Chain A
Amino acid sequence: MASENQSQSSVDTGSQRLDKDTRETLVGVARHGLLLAWSFVVLFPLYWLASMSLKPPGSANSLPPDWLFLPTVYNYIRLAQDGAFLAAFANSVVMVSASVVLVLLIGVPAAYVLSRYDIPMERDVLVWILSSRMLPPIAVVIPFFVIFRELNLFDSRIGMVFMYVSINLSLVVWVMKAFFDGIPETLEEAARVDGATRFQGFRKVVLPAAKPGIFSVAIISFIFAWIELLFGLVLTNFKAVPVTLFVYSFIGSRSIEWGMLAAASMAMILPVVVFLVAVNKYLAAGLSFGVVIKE
């Protein structure tokens, strides 16, 4: 390390100091080179998937690849006529959306209380809440598999909604607590002075101020539930199958229809890309469980 420092200082004192501009250009070129390289890593699989979904059947996986081809929506039309796909897609939309509404209804008021009231052992309570995310889903799902069969909740949308709530509740509570912490209490106090009840103060004053937080945590919860495979695999077999399980079911089937598989994956990915871009400003706040926004 010492020699490194030495060479550094000798470079600095040498004639290269004059070439500060050259060095900055070099750094800039290296920076953009690396960024372009990673952009390629990010985009190539997605490009490949998209092109597979748009290639006519038979040429989806020909090697050398058909870099130039006449795009066709054949696979998407087939997909749109596939009852199993449509059912799974609709299931996912309904179950995941319902779980997001429910997890907000349960988590947001609780986060408000954690933010505003003195809770005994608050830190332990918060770690307990976070611990629900530490529990591996496979360990959680086994008891629910046994119980759901007894309660007739196996292969039901309600059961799946509950499981989706379970993966996102800790996220919602943590993120919303951080958001509420950032909203000055004087706002509600003013409302209370004007004769509002505690509940009105929460609903009419605090909630509107927390809208960006609610919006972003809703979208992030949606994504985490949307990409979940295990619960569908264990707790459904026909009626409540989510779209992840539909995609999975292609694997292992003897004659994989690559084009349709690619189209189904595209249909799963595109809405989430739109969501991610929409929430991009608050994404870090949400994903970091509310830690980043505390600046």
Chain B
Amino acid sequence: MSTQTQTETTTTSETGLARLRALWNDYLPYWFVAPMVLVMVLITFFPGAYDLYLSVIEEPTFDVFAAEFVGLSNYATAFGRGGALHSFIITVTVVVSALALESVLGFGLAALVAGVESERLQSFYRVLFIVPMAVAPVSLATIGRIMLNSEIGVIPYLIEATTPFAAPAFLSEIPLLTVVLLDTWNWTPFMFIIFYAGLSSVPDTLIEASKVDGAPLWRRYLHVIIPYMKPVVFVATLIRMIDLFRTFGVVYGLTQGGPGTATQLVSINIYEQMFINNSPGVAAAIAVVYLVFVVAIANIVIAKVGFEGVWD
């Protein structure tokens, strides 16, 4: 009797297992995407919705119905004494100038390295030039604080020892430029390595053909090589732009938004509203505007340039 039930249970569990296996294989694509969709919802819709909720209530509370609705007053505070507009301007300034500098430098370096005849030397430069990416922005900020310090920094010292000019006080007189320059040091390698790969993919025949025309070098780049590389240029710039809007560590480590609010990026402003001023409502209000702002810009860029050539 007992043995019989045992065999019975094993057969049912076996068929159960087989059924599970069939379920697994028949619906494989669903199982495969489900965790990704879950995590994506958690990291896109949830924070957006929760920021929105926090931004229109008085005080964060878990009892949604007990929360006191305050309308747009947090937004008014954010753009009033919260200095949100100022930090948006600072952010856009940093993003635009760093993006321009890194693209131009990255492309120039890629073109220079691609033209090196010795293959060994070429790969030496290729490896050397990606190394700055290994430095965490916050580490770079600490290195910058030391090397650029007006009293003990080696860079002001070298400037004054080798040139007739007085070294600027990097962190107090030109903090924004210093931030841009440090980010450029850190992330030009990103543009460089993608552009370099893009350049290597331009067929030799195309380059030879353009040479026969006798066009000057810059025109060959402008009219033949860059158009060919358009998808690569587009994607590198788009992703770097998105990442520049995420900048936090280098500025927080270098100046913490100062002196005053001279380098107060939106990220820094939100952080300070949340954790120094203890006003989550104001922080969330700026966060909502920032979210919409960045997603809108990125989508406009995507729509304008299109994914043609990138995808097909």
Q: What is the 8 Å Cβ interface bit string for chain B, positions 185-199, against chain A (1 contact, 0 not)?
A: 100001001101110
Q: How large is the interface on A (under 10, 10 to 19, 20 to 34, 35 or more residues)?
A: 35 or more
A281 shortest CB reach to chain B, Å: 10
Q: Chain B contacts of A153 at CB under 8 A? A: none
Interface residues of B in 281-297 (CB under 8 A from A): 283-284, 287-288, 290-291, 294-295
Q: Is the CB of B134 within 8 A of A63?
A: no
Partner of A139, one of B42, B47, B134, B152: B47
Interface residue? A261 (CB, 8 A): yes
Determine the distance from Cα of A117 to Cα of B219 in the docked complex, in whole angstroms: 43
What CA separation (Å) do A134 and B60 show in the bound complex? 25
A104 to chain B, nearest CB (A): 11
Tell me, yes or no, whether A236 is within 8 Å of chain B by CB. Answer: no
Which one of B11-19, B72-80, B263-271 is at the interface?
A: B263-271
Contact B139 A137 (CB under 8 A): no
Q: List CB contacts (< 8 Å) of B84-142 with chain A.
A: 108-109, 112-113, 115-116, 125-142
Number of interface residues of B (CB under 8 A): 100
Q: Give 30 A-B contacts (CB < 8 Å), ordered by A residue.
A: A5-B216, A38-B129, A42-B185, A45-B185, A48-B143, A48-B154, A109-B35, A113-B29, A129-B40, A133-B243, A135-B291, A136-B246, A136-B291, A138-B287, A140-B43, A143-B51, A146-B280, A165-B39, A166-B39, A197-B21, A229-B253, A234-B275, A247-B136, A247-B142, A265-B139, A284-B193, A284-B198, A288-B232, A289-B235, A291-B232
**A272 on the B face (CB < 8 A):** yes
Are the CB atoms of A250 and B142 closer together than 8 Å?
A: yes
Contacts of A147 in B (CB 8 A): 50
Complex Cα distance, B287 from A140, in Å, reads: 8
Contacts of A247 in B (CB 8 A): 136, 138-139, 142
Docked-complex contact B139 and A292, CB < 8 angstroms: no
Q: Contact string, A174-202, partner B, CB cutoff 8 A, digits 1/0? A: 00000000000000000000000111001
B9 is an interface residue with CB less than 8 A from chain A: no
Q: Are B248 and A65 in contact (CB under 8 A)?
A: no
A window 109-154: CB within 8 A of B:
109-110, 112-114, 117, 123, 127-140, 142-147, 150
Seen from chain A, the residues whose Cβ lies within 8 Å of a Cβ on chain B are 5, 8, 12, 31-32, 34-35, 38-39, 41-43, 45-46, 48-49, 52, 61, 63-65, 105-107, 109-110, 112-114, 117, 123, 127-140, 142-147, 150, 165-166, 169, 173, 197-199, 202, 223, 226-230, 233-234, 244, 247-248, 250-251, 258, 261, 265, 268-269, 272-273, 275-277, 280, 283-285, 287-289, 291-292, 295
Contact B249 A127 (CB under 8 A): no
Most-contacted residue by chain A among B36, B127, B130, B291 (CB, 10 A): B36
Which applies to chain A's interface (DSSP): helix, strand, loop or mixed? helix
Cβ-neighbour of A283 out of B40, B46, B130 (below 8 A) = B130
Q: Which among B50, B138, B252, B280 has the highest number of chain A CB atoms within 10 Å?
A: B138
Query: B142 contacts which of A150, A261, A273 (Cβ < 8 Å)?
Result: A261
Complex Cα distance A107/B33, Å? 8
In Å, the complex CA distance between A67 and B142 comes to: 21
The 5 closest A-B pairs by CB, nearest first: A284-B197, A110-B36, A227-B136, A143-B50, A139-B287
The answer to whether A42 touches B129 (Cβ under 8 A) is yes
Q: Is the CB of A110 within 8 A of B143?
A: no
Cα of A250 to Cα of B139 in the assembled complex, Å? 10
CB-CB < 8 A to B37: which residues of A? 110
A137 touching B248, Cβ below 8 Å:
yes
Closest to B132 in A: A42
Q: What CA separation (Å) do A227 and B139 show in the bound complex?
A: 9
Residue of B109, B133, B134, B185 with most chain A CB atoms under a 10 A cut-off? B134
Residues of B near A142 (CB, < 8 A) are 47, 50-51, 54, 270, 274, 280, 283-284, 287
A136-B291, A230-B249, A280-B130 known; A49+B143 contact, CB < 8 A: yes
What's the least CB distance linking B29 to chain A, in Å?
Answer: 5
Tell whether B146 is near chain A: CB-to-CB under 8 Å. Answer: yes
Rounded to whole angstroms, the CA-CA distance of A39 and B190 in the bound complex is 16
User: Once the chains bind, are A42 and B267 in contact (CB under 8 Å)?
Assistant: no
A140 and B242 form a contact (CB under 8 A): no
Chain B residues 139-181 with CB under 8 Å of chain A are 139-143, 145-147, 152, 154, 157, 161
Q: How far is the CA of A150 from the CA of B249 in the complex (A)?
A: 27
Question: Could you tell me if B270 and A138 are in contact, using CB atoms closer than 8 angstroms?
Answer: yes
Q: Is the CB of B248 within 8 A of A229?
A: yes
How far, in whole Å, are A48 and B135 apart by their CA atoms in the complex? Answer: 14
B24 near A199: Cβ-Cβ < 8 Å? yes
- Residues of chain A contacted by B271 (CB below 8 angstroms): 138, 230, 233-234
Cα-based distance from A13 to B132 in the complex (angstroms): 45
Q: B216: which of A8, A112, A113 is its contact (CB, 8 Å)?
A: A8
Q: Is the CB of B201 within 8 A of A292?
A: yes
- Besides A110-B37, A117-B29, A273-B131, 14 new A-B residue pairs in contact (Cβ under 8 A), listed by A number: A45-B140, A45-B147, A48-B143, A131-B298, A134-B242, A135-B291, A139-B287, A139-B290, A198-B28, A229-B249, A275-B134, A276-B133, A284-B196, A288-B236
Which chain B residue shows the least CB distance to A277? B127
B157 touching A63 by the CB < 8 A rule?
A: yes
Please determine whether B43 and A287 come into contact, CB atoms closer than 8 angstroms. no
Q: Tell me, rounded to whole Å, the shortest Cβ–Cβ distance linking A231 to chain B.
A: 10
Chain A residues, Cβ within 8 Å of B280: 142, 146
- In the complex, A129 Cα to B41 Cα: how many Å? 10
Q: Are A292 and B51 in contact (CB under 8 A)?
A: no
User: For the complex, is B25 an interface residue (Cβ under 8 Å from A)?
Assistant: yes
B44 at the interface (CB under 8 A from A): yes
